[in-house]
Amino acid sequence: MKTVSAISALCAIAIVVPSVSGQERPREREISVTGRGSVSSTPDEVTFKVGVESDGPTIDAVRRDNDVKMNAIIKALKDSEVPERDIVTTDTSLRKRFTPAQDSQTKKDATTFTFTREVLVRLRKVAGAEEVLASVMKAGANRVADFSFIDSKKKNIARPRWRSPSRTPFKALMLSPRSLALSVGR
């Protein structure tokens, strides 16, 4: 009899315990604050890539053509008062292209070569960028890409990011009525 009552007591506890642990605790009251910001600034520098792609029947021919045009481009950049340290070679490539006889106009197999060279140019003043571009195009550039306008000082971008998190808890407290007795957490 004691065994049956012990088992009955354990079953009763097993039934009661889930119902006690299943009870929901009262939800904490909270205010959620999110925000968005935007920053604009005036760029003071420009970077871009400029280069030459030369095609021809031999490697020597395309390399010579490319050398002549790239030297003219670099001279045009220097004549535009771009310092040598702001002209950096970023790409040099050589491709061989084979054209079968049925695809060519001459009805002969053809092999051509393409030589490409690019430099990254940094202009430390935005004013005058159009004139620099015009001069490199006149010098023989047939590739211009990857323009970036840069705020080199970055003061305008760093300030809002630094200030915003420190002010958010203050703003949340201002929004919460004192009668709700809310606290601000992270």
CA 151/CA 32 separation, integer angstroms? 34
Contacts of 73 (CB under 8 A, 6+ apart): 50, 51, 52, 119, 136, 139, 140, 141
Q: CB–CB of 152/45 below 8 Å?
A: yes
* 68 domain residue, yes or no: yes
- Which of 22-31, 34-43, 126-135 ranks highest by mean pLDDT? 126-135
> What pLDDT digit, counting tens, does each position of 154-173 carry?
755 545 544 555 555 555 55
Strand order in the sheet with 143-150: 87-99, 110-123, 45-56, 143-150
* 7 domain residue, yes or no: no
Structure tokens at 158: 């760093």
What residue type is assigned to position 174 of the chain? M
Closest CA to 128 of 44, 18, 53, 185: 44
In the chain, the N- to C-terminal Cα span, in Å, equals 58
Q: How many CB atoms lie within 10 A of CB 66?
A: 23
* 88 domain residue, yes or no: yes
CATH number of the domain enclosing 116: 3.30.70.2970
What mean pLDDT do residues 51-80 have?
Answer: 95
* 168 domain residue, yes or no: no
Q: How confident is the model at residue 75 (pLDDT cuts 50, 70, 90)?
A: very high
Domain total of the chain: 1
Q: How confident is the model at residue 31 (pLDDT cuts 50, 70, 90)?
A: low
**Which domain range does residue 77 map to?**
48-150
- Let me know the angle formed at the C-alpha of 89 by 88 and 90, rounded to the nearest 5 degrees: 110
> What pLDDT digit, counting tens, does each position of 85-103 carry?
999 999 999 999 887 776 5
Give yes or no for residue 10 having a pLDDT over 50.
no
* 82 domain residue, yes or no: yes
User: 111 to each of 27, 29, 95, 102, 138, how far by Cα in Å?
Assistant: 76, 76, 10, 14, 30
Q: How many CB atoms lie within 10 A of CB 186?
A: 5
* 157 domain residue, yes or no: no
Q: CB–CB of 172/33 below 8 Å?
A: yes
* 97 domain residue, yes or no: yes
* 28 domain residue, yes or no: no
Comparison of pLDDT for 139 and 30, the residue scoring more: 139
